Amino acid sequence: MKVTVELDCTPEEARRLIGLPDVAQLNERYVDEMSKFLQGANSVEQLQNFTKIIAPMGEAGLKMFSSFVTGAMGAAGGGKSSSAKKKSD
């Protein structure tokens, strides 16, 4: 038996439905603080120190995030996974 359920709701309603917190105010404050900091940065060293703070894993963390985004885009685009390729060979 196959059951299909379709929900028509906004992203905010969906977050509430599954119990995720509302982080809109936190996000606004974060963006404001980031903007203030970046406007006050007078040197490359300040920006480098800032990137070390927000990306504690440094380049490895950025590569991991990049591979995550690339994988998600491939999955969303309907690309074949490696297991699907093996089955078709």
Model confidence at 3, pLDDT cuts 50, 70, 90, reads very high
CA 31 vs CA 25, 27, 41, 46, 48: distances in Å: 10, 6, 15, 18, 18
pLDDT in tens, 5-51: 898 999 889 888 889 888 888 888 888 887 877 777 777 777 777 77
Residue with tokens 């404050």: 29
Q: Which two tokens stand for residue 78?
A: 């309907």
What are the φ and ψ backbone dihedral angles of 52, each rounded to 5 degrees? -65, -35
Q: Whole-angstrom Cα distance, residue 40 to residue 34? A: 10
Sign of CA dihedral 55, 60, 64, 67: positive
The average pLDDT across 54-67 equals: 71
pLDDT in tens, 37-48: 777 777 777 777
